[in-house]
């Protein structure tokens, strides 16, 4: 059974949300968040800031996942990705005066997020992107805007139901992710793929014993295949999702934090969460407090 199309119009928030979940994410031109676009946004930002440049140009390139139901998903014929990450991307773009349809969405996989930010291929990354010290040494990461934890996805009839059970088994995840490193430390034989969709196919075919990554991602896949897959074990890591930006533009950090804090306070964050990850069965949490930005 696939998830059915879910639509929620949210009155009074200046926000209308609709979600096309999982594999059925195709043909609805209106899918996604409809945010209030800031008028004359260029005048809101100081000269010389990257935000002013983006606002004046009317263009922003945002890197998101294309194959993670609930977090970032775009079918081959869809115009726009849907999921919690793209929803927040639209909120950030709107504060630059850029409408959702004017955003350029680029697929970022786990392994190319830092290089894409460093080379300027994308302006922002919202792609289930855990904040780590190693990553913060080479790119900016503002947040966290969401906190999740690593779990396991196994076949419905699998005997694996504790972390101990993965010792000596083959577990897939994605190259360049925190998940692959963590599971190796638990004694499993790690199998790295480029994308999570390739990895989930391995579990479905029985080629590997389990898949591992953030629970929020796994629940999206389990919701797509409820008869074949289940999520097991308590979260065994803390994954704090941040918005990636280039260290060439340190001023972007405070703008991201301020814009997302406003979205947390006016209910936009919560509504976006409920309509996206919420549809995969993740309970809407309290929004996390974000880190202070490094001194520019
Ligand atoms: N959040 C983890 C990471 O950033 C795993 C998910 C992903 O690869 O996007 O590495």
* DSSP symbols for 66-88: SEETTTEE--TT-SS-BSHHHHH
* Residues contacting ligand 1 via CB (< 6 Å): 110, 127-130, 174, 177-179, 213-214, 239
Atom 8 in ligand 1: residue holding the nearest Cα: 177
Tell which atom from ligand 1 comes closest to the C-alpha of 217. 6
Report residues of the chain scoring pLDDT below 50.
1-31
- What pLDDT, on a 0 to 100 scale, did the predictor assign at position 283? 86
- What pLDDT, on a 0 to 100 scale, did the predictor assign at position 33? 67
Tell which atom from ligand 1 comes closest to the C-alpha of 129. 4
Domains of the chain: 7-148+239-280 (3.40.190.10), 150-232 (3.40.190.10)
Distance CA 64, CA 143 (A): 16
3-state class (DSSP) for residue 28:
coil
Atom 9 in ligand 1: residue holding the nearest Cα: 128
- What pLDDT, on a 0 to 100 scale, did the predictor assign at position 47? 97
Atom 10 in ligand 1: residue holding the nearest Cα: 177
For tokens 């922003």, the residue is 60
- What pLDDT, on a 0 to 100 scale, did the predictor assign at position 280? 81
218 C-alpha to ligand 1 centroid (Å):
12
10 C-alpha to ligand 1 centroid (Å):
30
Tell which atom from ligand 1 comes closest to the C-alpha of 177. 10
- What pLDDT, on a 0 to 100 scale, did the predictor assign at position 32? 55
Q: Are strands 239-245 and 140-148 parallel, antiparallel or unpaired?
A: antiparallel
Q: What is the pTM of this model?
A: 0.89
Q: Measuring CA to CA, how many Å separate 85 from each of 41, 76, 167, 184, 216?
A: 22, 18, 33, 27, 12
Distance CA 252, CA 294 (A): 11
Share of the chain above pLDDT 70, in %: 89
Long-range residue pairs from 261-266, CB within 8 A, at least 24 positions apart, any chain:
261/290, 263/88, 263/91, 266/13
């Amino acid at each position: 059974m696939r998830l059915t199309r879910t639509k929620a119009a949210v009155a009074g928030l200046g926000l209308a949300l609709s979600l096309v979940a999982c594999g059925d994410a195709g043909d609805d031109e209106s899918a996604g968040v409809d945010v209030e676009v800031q008028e004359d946004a260029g005048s809101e930002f100081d000269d010389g800031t990257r935000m002013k440049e983006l606002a004046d140009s009317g263009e922003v390139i945002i890197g998101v996942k294309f194959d993670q139901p609930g977090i970032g998903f775009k079918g081959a014929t869809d115009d726009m990705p849907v999921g919690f990450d793209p929803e927040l991307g639209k909120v950030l773009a709107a504060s630059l005066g850029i409408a959702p349809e004017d955003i350029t969405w680029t697929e970022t996989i786990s392994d190319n997020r830092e290089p894409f930010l460093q080379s300027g291929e994308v302006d922002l990354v919202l792609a289930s992107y855990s904040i780590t010290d190693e990553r913060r040494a080479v790119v900016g990461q503002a947040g966290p805007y969401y906190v999740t934890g690593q779990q396991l996805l196994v076949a419905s009839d699998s005997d694996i139901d504790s972390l101990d059970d993965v010792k000596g088994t083959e577990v897939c995840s994605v190259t360049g992710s925190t998940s692959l490193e963590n599971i190796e430390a638990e004694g499993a034989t790690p199998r790295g793929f480029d994308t999570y969709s390739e990895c989930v196919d391995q579990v479905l075919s029985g080629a590997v014993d389990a898949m591992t990554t953030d629970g929020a991602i796994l629940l999206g896949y389990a919701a797509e295949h409820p008869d074949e897959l289940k999520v097991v074990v308590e979260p065994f890591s803390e994954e704090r999702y941040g918005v990636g930006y280039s260290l060439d533009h340190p001023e972007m950090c405070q703008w991201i934090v301020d814009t997302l804090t406003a979205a947390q306070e006016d209910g936009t964050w919560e509504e976006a969460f409920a309509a996206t990850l919420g549809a995969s069965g993740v309970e809407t949490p309290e929004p996390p407090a974000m880190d202070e930005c490094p001194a520019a």
